[in-house]
Amino acid sequence: MTLLRIRPGAPDPQGRILEVTPESAGWEHIGFRVHRLTSGQCLEDHTGSREHCLVVLSGRASVYSGAQRWENIGQRMDIFEQIPPYALYLPDGADYRVEAITELEIAVCSAPGAGGHAARLITPDQIKRTTRGKDNNVRHVHDILPETEPADSLLVVEVYTPAGNWSSYPPHKHDVDDLPRESQLEETYYHRINPPQGFAVHRVYTDDRSLDETMLVENGDCVMVPRGYHPVGAPHGYQLYYLNVMAGPKRIWKFHNDPDHEWMLEK
């Protein structure tokens, strides 16, 4: 049985269906939760010592933190509308309350904070959209909280991989603090699949194969990547979405390709 795949469960009183903490993952930086709320339901929490990025995956909500109010945010009613989301950055030391206006799926991404940034709304028009790769390696990227935007630790991005394509590919890793060549970043992948009865393939492996797990992931699963290469494949007929959260000792994304497979970039 894999120790890297987390399955969703029934919602708790605040709609939480899935959670990864530094303690449960055995690492230092990333926390990740997903909540599914019914219309009118609320989520209340405190960021504590961690900065947060709340990503409205689908639905609409109002969010309150101290004297600040962000009302009726959210645009897409389904993740696979493939339009950028609304998101909200909250620093450490902040109370917050989320009120669902419609059925709501929201991701709560967190990492150590240093109190250096103000709370702010991230709107769809602020999110950079790019397409990476070619042929069966094409995927479409929304940079929600990239390293060019202010934060202390968090990097947050979502990726759409068309059916039959590969993503996070050629296999790459970022588990060594060796800048400017490579940065050390933990990572989570929150997977959604369309149609939802499908599956994807996610492998996590190191050069010496001391870690080597190949997982069939289903709709709503979360995969933890503590180290190693981590390619993902979407079978024919099933479109793949994932939300990535990354964090480490330095807030920069520099990756190293698996040298066995880097040749394909020269084609």
* Residue 1, in any domain of the structure: no
Per-residue model confidence as pLDDT tens for the chain (267 residues): 468 999 999 999 999 999 999 999 999 999 999 999 999 999 999 999 999 999 999 999 999 999 999 999 999 999 999 999 999 999 999 999 999 999 999 999 999 999 889 999 999 999 999 999 999 999 999 999 999 999 999 999 999 999 999 999 999 999 999 999 999 999 999 999 999 999 999 999 999 999 999 999 999 999 999 999 999 999 999 999 999 999 999 999 999 999 999 998 886
- The set of residues, in sequence order, having a beta carbon less than 8 Å from that of 207 and lying 6+ positions away, is 258
Number of CB atoms found within 10 A of residue 235's CB: 15
Alpha helices in the chain (DSSP H): 22-25
* Residue 51, in any domain of the structure: yes
* Residue 265, in any domain of the structure: no
* Residue 210, in any domain of the structure: yes
* Residue 266, in any domain of the structure: no
Q: What is the DSSP letter of 66?
A: T
Q: So what's the pLDDT on residue 230?
A: 98
Domain of residue 244 covers 8-260
* Residue 267, in any domain of the structure: no
* Residue 152, in any domain of the structure: yes
CATH code: domain of residue 140: 2.60.120.10
Task: Quote the number of domains for the chain.
Answer: 1
* Residue 196, in any domain of the structure: yes
Model confidence pTM above 0.85: yes
Dist CA 61 CA 33 (whole Å): 17
Which position has the token pair 């929600």? 144
| The token pair that represents 253 in the structure block | 């994304």
- The set of residues, in sequence order, having a beta carbon less than 8 Å from that of 183 and lying 6+ positions away, is 174, 177, 248, 250, 252, 253, 254, 255
Q: What is the DSSP letter of 181?
A: T
